């Protein structure tokens, strides 16, 4: 059925719950997982406080460390469940595109990701990476709430 499942994370609590569910699902169907996170590119002109307050090198060092921590958490969860795990760290300002491209490049046949559950104006104005993945992905997506 499913052989390789992409588990994207942004480090949120909702993502952590989706990862646990994704790893459990992978174990149940005998699949392996691909842990993935997207890092925004550095921009000298930005509203992001992280980028304004840091040099390019400081920013890249900080986001690399965060990405490795997030991916390491997924790898540890998979290892504890007896599930094979590889990791993908992608630099992209468009997380939904990075998720879809990584799933395609890594041969994933399912994506398991969180829904942050924003409703009303917040959901409409902020947009949802999960919604964008659902709309644009040809690969099945399991949304965990």
Q: What is the pLDDT of residue 113?
A: 95
Contact 139, 99 (CB under 8 A): no
- Residue 66 in 3-state DSSP? helix
The sign of the CA dihedral 24, 25, 26, 28 is positive
Better-predicted residue by pLDDT, 98 or 145:
98
What does the domain layout of the chain look like in residue ranges?
4-144
Q: What is the pTM of this model?
A: 0.87
Residue (of 96, 28, 16) closest to 5 by Cα position: 28
Task: Write the pLDDT tens digit of every residue in 2-47.
Answer: 999 999 999 999 999 999 999 999 999 999 999 999 998 876 665 5
Distance separating alpha carbons of residues 54 and 44, to the nearest angstrom: 10
CA distances from 81 to 2, 25, 112 (A): 17, 10, 17
Residue 110 · residue 2 · CB < 8 Å: yes
Helix 129-136 vs helix 95-105: crossing angle, to nearest 10: 50
Give the pLDDT mean for 101-125: 80
Banded pLDDT at 115 (limits 50, 70, 90)? confident
- C-beta atoms surrounding 105 within 10 Å: 11
pLDDT on residue 35: 98
The CATH fold assigned to 4-144 is Rossmann fold (3.40.50)
């Amino acid at each position: 059925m499913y052989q390789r499942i992409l588990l994207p994370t942004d480090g949120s609590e909702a993502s952590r719950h989706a990862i646990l569910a994704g790893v459990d699902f992978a174990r149940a169907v005998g699949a392996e997982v691909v842990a993935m996170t997207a890092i925004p590119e550095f921009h000298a002109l930005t509203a992001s406080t992280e980028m304004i307050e840091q040099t390019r090198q400081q920013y890249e060092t900080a986001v690399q460390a965060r990405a490795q921590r997030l991916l390491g958490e997924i790898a540890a969860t998979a290892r504890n469940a007896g599930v094979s795990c590889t990791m993908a760290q992608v630099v992209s300002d468009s997380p939904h595109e990075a998720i879809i491209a990584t799933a395609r490049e890594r041969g994933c046949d399912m994506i398991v990701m969180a829904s942050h559950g924003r409703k009303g104006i917040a959901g409409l104005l902020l947009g949802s990476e999960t919604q964008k993945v659902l709309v644009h992905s040809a690969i099945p997506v399991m949304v965990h709430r």
